[in-house]
């Protein structure tokens, strides 16, 4: 039986239907329209409907981490985000020895096969020691194509993205191997200069890993990674809009400079949705105080504790139009990662939806046509 949902406002997100309706058949969107449905009373109605959120940079949540070989633990983290509206989650792994990463990818690939995760992201180990953030210095590695091949194999087609600091020894060898394997290259945790960043984009890099964080700040004569990645129309820039990693004016600036290619990410760690306390990110001890996660020894920021829905509210509060903020959490990340049936409400798309109240809080989540 088809389900007819009506809302005062629907963000498809390319269009805003006020009011509008969505018809769901099984696991997919069967029809969508503006105004009132011509023949039927809706089965359910709400204030605002949007596509299920797409979070492409997540380390954990609900007390559980993706840096694990326990499928149960990883599923717990994925479910914590799903309940909060992120119906598509790309699991991110922090730096670890290659054999450990291979085992973790193999475990997470099972969850991708089961549809619990939308794909996998390697955030290391090919990162700059000086801009490593919470990544364990001992686990950073020089670039090596054989390691890339091993990890790509372990992920069984589910490795969608890898973050690379292009300036490290073997950085461009890694970029080439990733491009050859059809894995998106993201530039991040990097000390690259302007020319090296430009070279990385020429070599195929298409994503900026949490722009501004984990790289030198923008300098007007030496634009470096921030300037190059923000200015290049072929690059999608991740922004952590948790109210901690970036100031509101920085969010507003980036949203304007990279209009249509901003991808909000939570960068959430296991303490997301949990009380303050002690956690681990990979092998790094992390302390969360007042909702801010920091490496216990160095004080460096160690990922976020907020979900992507909170990021929409933060971006909107920074002065970004609501439609743009929702697009940055749905259609843009889905397109950047090639998740063609996600992040948009169109005929044939996955029936993944979130209902939002007037305060933009998630009130209900539909995954594959089923309310959660």
Residue 123 or 167 having the CB closest to Zn ion: 123
User: In the block, which residue shows the tokens 């997919």?
Assistant: 28
Residue 245 or 344 having the CB closest to Zn ion: 245
Q: Which stretch binds Zn ion (CB under 5 A): 30-38, 158-166, 263-271, 336-344?
A: 263-271
Residue 123 or 352 having the CB closest to Zn ion: 123
Residue 199 or 267 having the CB closest to Zn ion: 267
Name residues contacting Zn ion, limited to 302-331 (CB under 5 A). none
Is residue 277 part of an annotated ligand binding site?
Answer: no
CA distances, 348 to each of 24, 25, 132, 266 (Å): 10, 10, 41, 27
Is residue 202 part of an annotated ligand binding site?
Answer: no
Q: How far is the CB of 359 from Zn ion (least distance, A)?
A: 28
Active site residue 267: yes
Residue 49 or 58 having the CB closest to Zn ion: 58
# of chain residues touching Zn ion (CB under 5 A): 2
Is residue 134 part of an annotated ligand binding site?
Answer: yes
Residue 197 or 213 having the CB closest to Zn ion: 213
Q: How far is the CB of 302 from Zn ion (least distance, A)?
A: 9
Print the binding letters for residues 75-114 with Zn ion: x by CB under 5 A, - otherwise. ----------------------------------------
Q: Which of 113, 267, 324, 358 is catalytic?
A: 267
Name residues contacting Zn ion, limited to 111-150 (CB under 5 A). 123
If phi over 0 gives left and psi between -120 and 50 gives alpha, with beta otherwise, what is residue 218?
A: beta
Residue 174 or 353 having the CB closest to Zn ion: 174
Q: Are strands 362-367 and 353-356 parallel, antiparallel or unpaired?
A: antiparallel
Is residue 238 part of an annotated ligand binding site?
Answer: no
Is residue 123 part of an annotated ligand binding site?
Answer: yes
Among 121, 267, 306, 310, binds Zn ion (CB under 5 A): 267
The secondary structure of the chain, three-state, reads: CCEEEEEEEEECCCCEECCEEEEEECCEEEEEEECCCCCCCCCEEEEEEEECEEEEEECEECCEECCCCCHHHHHHHHHHHHHCCEEEEEEEECCCCHHHHHHHHHHHHHHHHCCCCCEEEECCCCCCHHHCCCCCHHHCCCCCHHHHHHHHHHCCCCEEEEEECCCCCCHHHHHHHHHHCCCEEEECCCCCCHHHHHHHHHCCEEEECCCCCCCCCCCCCCCHHHHHHHHCCCCEEEEECCCCCCCHHHHHHHHHHCCCCEEEECCECCCCCCCCEEEEECCEEEEEECCEEEECCCCCECCECCCHHHHHHHHHHCCCCHHHHHHCCCHHHHHHCCCCCCCCCCCCCECCEEEECCCCCEEEEEECCEEC
Q: How far is the CB of 258 from Zn ion (least distance, A)?
A: 19
Residue 127 · residue 282 · CB < 8 Å: no
Q: Which stretch binds Zn ion (CB under 5 A): 61-69, 160-168, 262-270, 282-290?
A: 262-270
Q: How far is the CB of 281 from Zn ion (least distance, A)?
A: 8
Q: Is 23 in the site for Zn ion (CB under 5 A)?
A: no
Is residue 63 part of an annotated ligand binding site?
Answer: no
Q: How far is the CB of 370 from Zn ion (least distance, A)?
A: 30
Q: How far is the CB of 303 from Zn ion (least distance, A)?
A: 6
Is residue 309 part of an annotated ligand binding site?
Answer: no
- Residues placed in the known binding site for substrate: 134, 213-214, 221, 245, 301-303
Task: Catalogue the active-site residues.
Answer: 267
Return residues touching Zn ion (CB under 5 A): 123, 267
- Residues placed in the known binding site for Zn(2+): 123, 189, 210
- Residues placed in the known binding site: 123, 134, 189, 210, 213-214, 221, 245, 301-303
């Amino acid at each position: 039986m088809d389900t007819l949902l009506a809302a005062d406002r629907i963000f498809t997100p390319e269009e805003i239907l006020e009011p509008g309706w969505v018809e769901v058949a099984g696991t997919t969107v069967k029809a969508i329209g503006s105004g009132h449905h011509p023949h039927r009373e809706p089965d359910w109605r709400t204030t605002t409907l949007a596509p299920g959120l797409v979070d492409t940079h997540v380390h954990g949540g609900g007390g559980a981490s993706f840096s694990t070989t326990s499928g149960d633990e990883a599923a717990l983290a994925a479910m914590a985000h799903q309940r909060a509206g992120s119906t598509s989650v790309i699991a991110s792994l922090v730096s670890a020895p290659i054999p450990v990463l291979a085992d973790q990818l193999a475990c997470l690939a099972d969850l991708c096969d089961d549809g619990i995760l939308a794909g996998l992201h390697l955030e290391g180990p090919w990162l700059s020691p000086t801009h490593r953030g919470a990544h364990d210095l001992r686990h950073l590695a020089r670039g090596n194509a054989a390691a890339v091949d091993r990890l790509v194999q372990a992920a069984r087609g589910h490795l969608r993205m890898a973050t690379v600091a292009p300036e490290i020894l073997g950085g461009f060898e890694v970029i080439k191997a990733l491009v050859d394997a059809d894995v998106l290259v993201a530039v991040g945790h990097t000390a690259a200069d302007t020319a090296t960043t430009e070279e990385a984009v020429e070599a195929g890099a298409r994503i900026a890993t949490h722009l501004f964080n984990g790289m030198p700040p923008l300098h007007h004569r030496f634009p470096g990674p921030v300037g190059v990645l923000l200015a290049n129309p072929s690059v999608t820039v991740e922004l952590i809009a948790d109210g901690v990693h970036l100031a509101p004016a920085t969010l507003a600036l980036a949203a304007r400079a990279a209009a249509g290619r901003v991808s909000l990410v939570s960068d959430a760690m296991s303490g997301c949705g949990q009380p303050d306390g002690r956690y681990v990110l990979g092998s790094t001890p992390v302390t969360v105080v007042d909702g801010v996660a920091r490496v216990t020894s160095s004080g460096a920021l160690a990922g976020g504790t907020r979900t992507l829905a909170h990021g929409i509210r933060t971006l909107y509060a920074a002065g970004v139009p609501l439609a743009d903020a929702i697009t940055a959490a749905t259609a843009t990340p889905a397109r950047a990662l090639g998740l063609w049936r996600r992040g948009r409400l169109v005929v044939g798309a996955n029936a993944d939806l979130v209902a939002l109240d007037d305060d933009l809080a998630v009130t209900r989540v539909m995954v594959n046509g089923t309310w959660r």
